[in-house]
């Protein structure tokens, strides 16, 4: 079988890497298309996947409308040459291409940016989502017990590598904090501003009293913060998160990554994410705040109190253990779902407990 996976965000490379390796080892073929966003290309190159870079995303509204047609047409040309049997991802471009070629398309969804969902939903065959509370996507929705971050951070596939500490010049039990700032250029980021520069600086100076501070940023940092910029290979970021004391910032994905690794996370976004809300409400693994100036200051104060807390990692480790008791190996589920398609769709809709065999 041949599978085409379109990458819309660097995290999507991680979502599908274990799936791709396992499928390749089984004799299947896997091919990626992508846009040149952040560290997407370097990740695909590092993992030695076959891919075609379709160029950079368009940032203006007219550009995004043009991009819908442009990227869809490019993927159509590639698909006609590559001849995939099935398409995977949550991007509208490949969903439309799959529909045009009368091939099945399986989407993964956790952002619930409805302007994008409404574009790809008519053209996809199934949408895999976590079973946390979120908007219902209709009869195509299939809920699983987990988060998309468990596709690559489930203990069956990942254990943080301590050698990253030496690269960072960090002692084994030394405290450090990761701050993550996003560029706010995605279509679902319209109207968002994120943290003010003043509060970014305040957060850095507050947290560095308790350990080293590293900043991961999608956009260029101002001069005041450049000395804190994180400089490691992109594929090592999860090793680094796994030994951090705190993940703080504007990325829901990275806060959720910290949560499933048992590391405290603080997330700021006006719209929030359904999965980080569950991680806070059900497991106490992270905290959600808005982008308001008042909440920015509250988030910094909370970060200080967490860093001051004794046995912080031990406590979060226990919370993570409780969370993992409720979740499955999402990669194992995905492999079965794809290989057993379309019968897998019927089974999952009829038997909600079938997925428990993927623990």
Q: Quick: pLDDT tens for 308-320.
A: 998 999 999 999 9
What would you measure as the largest C-alpha separation in the chain, in angstroms? 58
Q: Are 212 and 170 in contact (CB under 8 A)?
A: yes
Predicted pLDDT at 192: 52
Same fold, 2-154+328-358 and 163-324: yes
Nearest to 265 by CA among 302, 297, 308, 234: 302
Q: Quick: pLDDT tens for 123-138.
A: 999 999 999 999 999 9
Q: Are 57 and 248 in contact (CB under 8 A)?
A: no
Q: What percent of the chain has pLDDT over 70?
A: 97
Question: Dihedral through CA 143, CA 144, CA 148, CA 152, nearest 10?
Answer: -160
| Element (DSSP H or E) covering residue 242 | helix 237-242
CATH H-level superfamily of 163-324:
Glycogen Phosphorylase B; (3.40.50.2000)
Q: Is the pTM of this model over 0.75?
A: yes
Q: Is the peptide bond before 128 cis (omega within 30 degrees of 0)?
A: no
- In angstroms, the CA 184 to CA 205 distance is 24
Nearest to 157 by CA among 63, 3, 261, 294: 261
Q: Are 215 and 253 in contact (CB under 8 A)?
A: no
Domain ranges of the chain: 2-154+328-358, 163-324
Q: Is 35 helix (H, G, I), strand (E, B) or coil?
A: coil
Nearest to 7 by CA among 38, 28, 32, 43: 32
Q: Are 113 and 91 in contact (CB under 8 A)?
A: no
Q: Quick: pLDDT tens for 3-57.
A: 999 999 899 999 999 999 999 999 999 999 999 988 899 999 999 999 999 998 8
**pLDDT of residue 81 exceeding 60:** yes
- The class (CATH top level) of 2-154+328-358 is alpha beta
User: In the beta sheet, which residues pair with residue 124?
Assistant: none
């Amino acid at each position: 079988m041949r599978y085409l996976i379109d990458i819309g965000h660097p995290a999507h490379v991680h979502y599908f890497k274990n799936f791709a390796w396992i499928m390749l080892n089984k004799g299947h073929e896997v091919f990626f298309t992508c846009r040149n966003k952040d560290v997407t290309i370097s990740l695909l190159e590092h993992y030695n996947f076959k891919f075609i870079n379709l160029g950079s995303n368009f940032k203006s509204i007219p550009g995004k409308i043009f991009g819908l047609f442009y990227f869809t047409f490019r993927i159509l040309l590639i698909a006609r040459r590559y001849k995939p049997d099935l398409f995977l991802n949550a991007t509208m471009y490949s969903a439309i291409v799959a529909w045009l070629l009368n091939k099945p398309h399986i989407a993964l969804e956790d952002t619930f940016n409805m302007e994008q969902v409404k574009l790809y939903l008519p053209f996809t065959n199934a949408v895999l989502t976590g079973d946390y509370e979120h908007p219902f996507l209709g009869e195509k929705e299939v809920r699983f017990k987990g988060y998309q971050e468990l596709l690559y951070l489930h203990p069956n596939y990942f254990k943080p590598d301590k050698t990253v500490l030496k690269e960072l010049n960090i002692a084994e039990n030394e405290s450090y904090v990761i701050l993550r700032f996003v560029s706010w250029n995605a279509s679902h980021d319209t109207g968002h501003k994120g943290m003010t520069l003043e509060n970014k600086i305040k957060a850095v100076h507050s947290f560095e009293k308790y350990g080293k501070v590293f900043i991961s940023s999608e956009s260029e940092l101002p001069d005041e913060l450049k000395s804190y910029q994180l400089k490691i290979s992109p594929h090592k970021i999860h090793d680094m998160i796994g030994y951090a004391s705190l993940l703080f910032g504007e990325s829901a994905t990275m806060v959720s990554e910290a949560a499933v690794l048992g590391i405290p996370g603080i997330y700021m976004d006006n719209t929030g994410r359904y999965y980080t809300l569950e991680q806070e409400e059900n497991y106490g693994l992270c905290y959600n705040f808005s982008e308001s100036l008042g909440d920015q200051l509250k988030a910094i104060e909370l970060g200080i109190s967490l860093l001051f807390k004794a046995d912080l990692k031990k406590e979060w480790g226990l919370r993570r253990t409780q969370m993992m008791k409720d979740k499955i190996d999402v990669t194992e589920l995905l492999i079965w779902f794809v290989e057993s398609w379309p019968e897998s769709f019927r089974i999952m809709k009829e038997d909600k407990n079938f997925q428990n065999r993927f623990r």
